[in-house]
A and B are shown apart, each in its own frame.
Chain A
Amino acid sequence: MTTIWKKAIRDFWQERARTTLVVLAIALGISAFAAVLSSYAILTRELDRGYLETNPASAVLRVDSIDNDLVKAILQNPEVSDAEPRRTIGGQIKAGPVQWRNLILFVVEDYGNIRVSKLVPESGAWPPATGEILIERDAFQVAKANVGDAVTVKTANGVETPLVISGSVHDVGQAQARMENIVYGYINLATLVQLGEEPRFDQLNILVAQNRFDEDHIRRVASDVEKLIEGRGHDVRRVEIPRPGKHPHSDLTGILLLAMSSFGLFVLVLSGILVINLLTAMMASQVRQIGVMKAIGGTRRQVARIYFSQALFLGIAAVIVSIPLGILGSRALCQYMAMFLNFDINSFAVPIWVYLLVALIGVIAPLLAAAYPVWRGTSTPVRVALADFGLSQTNFGAGAFDRALTRIGGTFSLIAFAIRNSFRRRARLVLTLLTLAAGGLFFLSALNVRASMVNTLDRMFAARKSDLSVSFAKPYEFEKIQKAVSNTAGVKRAEGWFTAEGSLGERRFGVVALPADTQLLDFDIIEGRKLTPQDTDAIVINNALAGREPTMHVGETVALRIGAEEKAWRVVGIAREAFAPSPVGYIPLTGMVNSLRLALDNADPDSIGELKTELDRNLEAEGIRARGSSTKSENRFGFDQHMVMIYVFLIVMSAIVGGVGGLGLMTTMSLNVLERRREMGVMRALGATPRIVWLMIVSEGVVIGVLSWAIAALLAWPVSKIIGDSFVRVLFHSGLDFTFEPLGLVIWMLVSIGLSAVASFLPAWKASRATVREALAYE
């Protein structure tokens, strides 16, 4: 090994305290980046793999009824490799004395021979016997029951039937039961009969023989099957073609994770700032040695290589530290997301390309950051370099800003001194402020985005004034329902609505018919007007529908098909609905209702539970069967979950970025102290006590902390608005009502002062303890 390498290694070792700080900061960025990137690789792989293993259906057709002859006929088509009938039916389930939960029942013909959209048995019985029900594993929390419990199940038409939960099942590709707040149950045909329903299948899962991943091909085959079914006198209600080969959530998961990994890169860039600070200071302290090396024959390139090597060591050390950290982080993240998405990860193997990319970026980033300081540091002419004596040789006092600073504080004031001192190395100060302010911005954004989301959700849910909504399997006259309601205590207001599906041409949307003078829904009209009691053919559409259908603007009359009827409707208004991706139109109610909306005196879960039981009885007395119900708080739950996710992510980011900022400040203070060693020796010689020296340095650190707070505070409003809007747009396709959380400013001020005091403590203490002789000694 040549002496050139030896010098690089020994210099690096000598600076190990400061380089450790910088290595840690870089490692933070690389670990975050590595953790998220490997999670992305693992999750997208495992999601799709797990999904494909269940042999998911190429297309799902909803038919009025399916029998074996029909299935055989369909299988005659060589393009169709498999077709399996199923039944999906809505109902309710009750475990013990707890209230009814919404239920979707899946009826499978032969559990022993499921070939398409397979279910994976988790525990307990397989198949479920007659009188038994299997529950999807994620739905147990919703059902509030366990395997072995006796439950009561009822469907819209049938009778209340006792069943036993005999096992647990994993239905990959199904929306998470927890998020939907629905129980998924699996029974056999005989149990369906027990429930009082006809033993009939209404869903066909088909698998195409070739080109399984070609959506257009699947569409064509499905269309052929549809024609065949209709040709035999059946009615095809719906044809669903899921995205072939991809788990329904893999795209969104992928996007989220890639976005998160970009934050890891951002932290890495911030840590590059620390590298710049460290290398700049290192070059400054090596000026004379650089001069000597050039004098004895070293070219600029040869000398620069010594310092680039040290930047390389920084990167290598950081990568070595980060890889295990990153693997740990990704494991935790994967497990959290898998639990959230209700699927299993078989293999945590990280593909090689992730390791290579992380190592490459981790090594290159410090080299890039070092480029300018090293190049500039090696450019000093030999003569000038040899004359350097290491005193802090900035020209403080030349510029107008510096002179302005002198006007702060008349006689000796510690604060004034601290303020002026912090501005001596301007570039270093700016870079340090950047990292600290970034941490502050993330933190403030976390708080502001959370406050905004809560505010937006509150406003959105305030517009929905019904606490409870009950749906019926078929339409009824409202008077009948009204009678049952009036017998139920605790109801402030009841309205009957009718929900249906409408279509404009081929495209479907939701339709809600409600009383024109409804008091249970506040329209947030952004154009036109809301419905009036005089309207007959008026429709108010929401922003989602307006956005999708450019022909439907206020004043236009369009031909819509609602239910079985095709009619001309006049668009009279557009209403804004936050977080509502589904397109919906509102029309005046005429005739029967299939949904009941209630505003209650008490909206707490217990009161609602009691009220639902009583209402159920009263409805039954009138011969009305409820199919399902949902409360406002249950609806809100899903949104709140997403909000918590975003909030936690931002807080974690702010902790990481704040950590880098703290390390940066520590490095800066340590460098400041090192360079002014002689100066402080002079001050000590002139009478300053160690305590004053210590106080001076800590004050300087705190001044920097407060300055960074000011920058963060100034930028918090626009930055958190942008961050909040981006998240909400990606997740909910909607806008945000921005709210500023003033408490955040106070908290971050305290954190900034605390962090900067802690960061300056050690350098200050060391400086105050150096003897005067050491400080003034030459070299």
Chain B
Amino acid sequence: MISLNHVSKTYETPAGKFAALKDIDLEIRPGEFVGVVGKSGSGKSTLLNMVAGIDRPSSGSVAVAGTEIHALSENKLAAWRGRNVGFVFQFFQLLPTLTAAENVMLPMDFSKTIPLRERRKRAVELLDLVAVKSHADKLPATLSGGEQQRVAIARALANEPPLVLADEPTGNLDSVTATEILDLFRNMANRGITVVIATHEADIARVIDRKIEISDGKIHPQITQMT
């Protein structure tokens, strides 16, 4: 599903060059639930961005779901992402002037893969899946952090993507809610979706299939843990 080959990323900052990723090789099989674990600044977010096509490698190649995405243009990447990748952010990132259901429908309106008449119905179903159906017509400002993240997860599933990426999805939640959210990702993985979560949380071990440790831009050899 995901294949990174000799991927490196160096940033130019006013304070000098910074190497975020150093010669990464990585393979993730379809249906795997992978946790990318590392401290702040370790490069885990950058790695996730590479897979999502949100960032481009300075060198190396990235292939996701059969596509060499490092070669695509910005607009093609966006369109590809809409159909193939569901993204969940640490700070939920729901659009404040759209209701929960509308937020879930937005990716459908961008990609146009789901027929127009079915979009609302599907959105409500997804909200039901993540247990916030009753909040479908509420604005994000009226929802709690946990509820917002659930909506965000429903949004990530909007276009039936084969891959879901999450960058510190529990970073802004209390521990009880965090557990519930992680369980949602597990359910997703159980249904065959490839899930990759970047986190510094140790608790992740409970739900994932494989742990990848990253620090200073390099992946450390690790023992695969199967649950």
Contact = CB atoms under 8 A, between A and B. Distances in A.
A53 B86 CA distance: 76
A677 to B, nearest CB: 16
B111 A297 contact: yes
B97 A297 contact: no
B81 A297 contact: yes
A299 B75 contact: yes
Contacts of B156: 296
Given A298-B110, A382-B54, A383-B55, A7 B98 contact: yes
B83 interface: yes
A14 to B, nearest CB: 6
Contact of B102 (A6, A14, A294): A6
B89 A386 contact: yes
A6 B139 CA distance: 13
Contacts of A383: 49, 54-55
A298 B108 CA distance: 10
Contact of B78 (A6, A289, A299, A386): A299
- Best-buried of A2, A3, A288, A292 by chain B (most CB within 10 Å): A3
B74 A10 contact: no
B82 A288 contact: no
B159 to A, nearest CB: 7
Interface in A342-392: 381-383, 386
A300 B82 CA distance: 13
A14 B97 CA distance: 8
B44 interface: no
A11 interface: yes
Contact of A4 (B93, B106, B158): B106
Given A296-B106, A297-B78, A299-B79, A7 B97 contact: yes
B82 A297 contact: yes
- What DSSP secondary structure best describes chain B's contact surface? helix
A288 B94 CA distance: 10
Contacts of B107: 296-297
A295 interface: yes
A548 interface: no
A531 B89 CA distance: 95
B97 A302 contact: no
B38 to A, nearest CB: 18
A91 B51 CA distance: 100
B79 A297 contact: yes
A3 B158 CA distance: 13
B155 interface: yes
B193 interface: no
B189 interface: no
A293 B54 contact: no
Interface in A18-34: none
B160 interface: no
B109 interface: yes
Nearest to B97: A10
B207 interface: no
A298 B158 CA distance: 13
B40 to A, nearest CB: 14
A301 interface: yes
Contacts of A298: 78, 82, 110
- Best-buried of A296, A298, A386 by chain B (most CB within 10 Å): A296
Contact of B74 (A289, A297, A300): A300
A386 B54 contact: yes
A296 B79 CA distance: 9
Contact of A292 (B49, B79, B93): B93
Interface string B128-156: 00000000000000000000000000011
B157 to A, nearest CB: 11
Nearest to B76: A299
Nearest to B53: A382
B82 A296 contact: yes
A2 B109 contact: yes
Contacts of B74: 300, 381
A761 B188 CA distance: 54
B196 interface: no
Contacts of A302: 110
A331 to B, nearest CB: 41
Nearest to B81: A297
Nearest to B167: A386
Contacts of B47: none
B75 A3 contact: no
Nearest to A398: B14
Interface string B117-135: 0000000000000000000
B64 interface: no
Interface string A747-779: 000000000000000000000000000000001
B34 interface: no
B93 A288 contact: yes
B198 interface: no
A228 B134 CA distance: 101
7 contacts: A3-B102, A3-B109, A4-B109, A294-B78, A295-B87, A299-B78, A300-B78
The 10 closest A-B pairs by CB, nearest first: A297-B82, A10-B97, A297-B110, A2-B109, A292-B93, A296-B107, A299-B75, A3-B102, A298-B110, A3-B106
Given A296-B86, A381-B74, 19 more contacts: A2-B105, A4-B110, A7-B102, A10-B97, A10-B98, A289-B95, A292-B95, A293-B110, A295-B52, A296-B107, A296-B158, A297-B111, A297-B159, A298-B78, A301-B75, A302-B110, A382-B78, A383-B49, A386-B54
